[in-house]
Amino acid sequence: MVSSPEELVEIDASCSSNHDRKSHHSDKVKSNLVTRLNRIEGQIRGIKRLIENDTYCDDVITQISATQSAMNSVAKILLEGHMKTCVLERIQEGDTEVLDEVLVTIQKLMKK
């Protein structure tokens, strides 16, 4: 049931027509992201229980790694959609400052 990020990015509304900086994800993409985040939320609760139950450290770290990977997947989906919609439209409008914004965002993601 897990789709690739490419399948989950759907261009919905125009980012450039709405300058209050809101995202414009289709209902399908929103639903997928919420499902993923709900799963991650459950993983976090599970990690908390593992720590409370004095679970072997390596097992906890393995679960933390899986959760980080899941968060990275959410970030990739969001970044891809952002680049294919908002960034593209702003560049087409002549706003090249958006490139600096994207580079900062990517640097933040790569720190993790």
**pLDDT tens digits in sequence order for the chain, 112 residues long:** 444 544 555 544 445 444 567 777 889 999 999 999 999 999 999 999 999 999 999 999 999 999 999 999 999 999 999 999 999 999 999 999 999 999 999 999 998 6
Which residues lie across from 25 on neighbouring strands?
A: 11
Q: Identity (one letter) of the amino acid at 5?
A: P
Nearest to 44 by CA among 60, 20, 33: 60
The model scores a pTM over 0.85: no
37, 25 Cβ separation under 8 angstroms: no
Domain 25-110, CATH among 3.30.1370.60, 1.20.58.1000, 1.10.10.10, 1.10.3720.10: 1.20.58.1000
pLDDT of residue 89: 94
Residue ranges covered by each domain of the chain: 25-110
pLDDT of residue 19: 53
Structure-derived torsion over alpha carbons of residues 98, 99, 104, 107, reported in degrees to the nearest 10: 150
